[in-house]
Structure 1
Amino acid sequence: MTPDDILAARTLALELGAWASAETRSHRVVSVSTKANPADLVTELDRSIELRVRDVVLDRFPGHAFVGEEFGGTAIGGRPTWYLDPVDGTTNLANGLPWTAFSLALAIDDRPLIGVIADPWHDAIFDAIAGQGARRDGDTLTIRSGASLRGGVVGSELAGHLTWPGMSDLSQRLTDAYCTLRVMGSGTLTLLGPAAGRGSGAIIHRFSPIDHLAATLIAHEAGATVLDHTGRPTLFPAEGGILVAAPDIAAELFELWTGAEAASLHGLPIG
């Protein structure tokens, strides 16, 4: 993609994020159904936003691929591919909890180019272009220095409605470090957290570009450390989980995460 193409794609993504944010705030949920299990919810808003975004994006960029939370799609090697979660945090939305996000990213293979996240409940839009920094409503985002686990907050998310292997152990290890674990119900907002000034770190047990790619790009461009489950710096892990953290605590948090997962794998007592 040319620089002009990337700027045009960012402009379009910002417009769609603003539209989706307004739709989410004004929408009254009237229909909730389930997908994989009774805790895996979807609403008419998830579907209507995704259909609109697909239509608009592919009309503007007909040669691109598109992968969405509700209607699927396939990434195509070497071709620009969009990844969308129209409402990340649908369970929150369906239960009246104002903590959801719209997440839209553009990548070629494992190289993210653009990320846009709309936070309807704070009327905020976050975005980044690779190599050009991150912004909240047009203002530059920068990770604050001096972060500490002690007295801090780290976010994570359940595996659907279940705890993931090592999650309980991680919670105990953070407790021992006088750090609080928060599980808020939106992986997008959890990974965005350190860049947005909401906590100092985040761990997601399994990366999905639909839910998480926009957030990892924005966090990275704001100065966060982003690591996969092996400790390799990457914004698009091929498998496993992902960690986003303020650089001051990244190594310490990574050690707690991998220690918790190892303990779980070997059946060791929590803590």
Structure 2
Amino acid sequence: MSVVELGRFMDDLADASGRAILPFFRAQFGLDDKAHGGAPFDPVTEADRAAEVVMRRMIRDAFPGHGLLGEEFGSERLDADCVWVLDPIDGTRAFIAGLPTWGTLIGLRKGQTAVRGMMHQPFLAERFFGDGRSAKLRNAAGERALRTRRCADLASALLCTTDPRLFAAGEEAERFQSVQARVRLARYGTDCYAYCMLAAGQVDLVVEAGLKPYDIVALIPIVEGAGGIVTSWDGGPATEGGRIVAAGDPRLHEAALRRLSS
């Protein structure tokens, strides 16, 4: 499959998942809590499951030799050279609240490298996509290239994180607070949108912890394609999730790492 055909296939996945999800948005639907043993609320909806089912079916039909890793239905053939990494609704808490700061994450990993990614927000008809070398946004206004903005230091930065309460009490929370205390502005509840806004030059820094591969793989090629950097807190690869820091400017990334890894 050519690069163009692969792009079209990812668009098809986005179209199909969007059709599965939108009837549930701002409507009444089934809701379960995946958390156990007093863990924080971890919701999953009928929409999550419906979207992942349809994407898995399409991938199996088109690429029977590829692997699959999804939030709702686990993994298949993770030893394959190419593995699709799916999160049907990243930002389920926003989804169930009727807020449009959620998206469908469609990532493709080759070996241990995230090579292509898309974040689709069907309610707003926005698609952010990238391949690590370039990144674009497609919406009602057309298609445009994405580029991160320059921001050399924490004091000038706009920081996003999904929820500061998700950092483990103790050292992890303290390291995050050491960064947050020094930025110009911090915003919460952004989920996958934070990374896309970073790629679009609206946000400078994203710091999170406790991520799974399906939370981040699709976003790495978008951020990197727009000129940004995504790593773990110790500066290593981000594809396995965990503690993640993304920045639009290498100087800002270095400044954040000094506080997150100390």
| TM-score, reference length from structure 2 | 0.84
> What is the one-letter code of the residue matched to 2:8?
T
Alignment partners' CA distance in 2, 1:164 and 1:185? 19
Kept after mapping to 2: 8 A contact 1:158/1:164: no
Offset at residue 40 of structure 1 (A): 1.1
Partner of 2:43: 41
> What is the one-letter code of the residue matched to 1:12?
F
Kept after mapping to 2: 8 A contact 1:217/1:235: no
Offset at residue 67 of structure 1 (A): 1.3
Partner of 2:186: 181
- Gaps of at least 5 residues in structure 2 are none
Aligned to 1:226, the other structure's residue is in SS state: strand
Alignment partners' CA distance in 2, 1:34 and 1:207? 18
> What is the one-letter code of the residue matched to 1:150?
A
Q: CA RMSD in A?
A: 2.5
Partner of 1:202: 206
- After superposition, residues 67-86 of structure 1 pair within 5 angstroms as 67-86=69-88
Kept after mapping to 2: 8 A contact 1:200/1:246: yes
Partner of 1:134: 135
1:10-34 CA distances to partner (integer Å, 9 max, x unpaired)? 2111222244345544432421111
> What is the one-letter code of the residue matched to 2:245?
L
Aligned to 2:218, the other structure's residue is in SS state: helix
1:137-188 CA distances to partner (integer Å, 9 max, x unpaired)? 14211112245432532112349x74324454345434542433322152x2
Aligned to 1:145, the other structure's residue is in SS state: coil
1:180-219 CA distances to partner (integer Å, 9 max, x unpaired)? 3322152x22333310333101122134221111111110
- After superposition, residues 1-271 of structure 1 pair within 5 angstroms as 4=2, 6-21=3-18, 23-27=20-24, 28-37=27-36, 39-131=41-133, 133-137=134-138, 138-146=143-151, 148-158=153-163, 162-165=166-169, 166=171, 168-170=173-175, 172-184=177-189, 186=191, 188-232=192-236, 234-237=237-240, 240-247=242-249, 248-259=251-262
Kept after mapping to 2: 8 A contact 1:105/1:213: yes
- More strand by proportion, 1 or 2? 2
Kept after mapping to 2: 8 A contact 1:171/1:181: no
The count of residues paired between Structure 1 and Structure 2 equals 251
Partner of 1:263: none
| TM-score, reference length from structure 1 | 0.82
Alignment partners' CA distance in 1, 2:181 and 2:114? 36
Q: Percent identity?
A: 23
Alignment partners' CA distance in 2, 1:148 and 1:26? 43
Kept after mapping to 2: 8 A contact 1:156/1:204: yes
Are the structure 2 counterparts of residues 219 and 58 from structure 1 closer, same or farther at C-alpha, using a change threshold of 3 Å? same
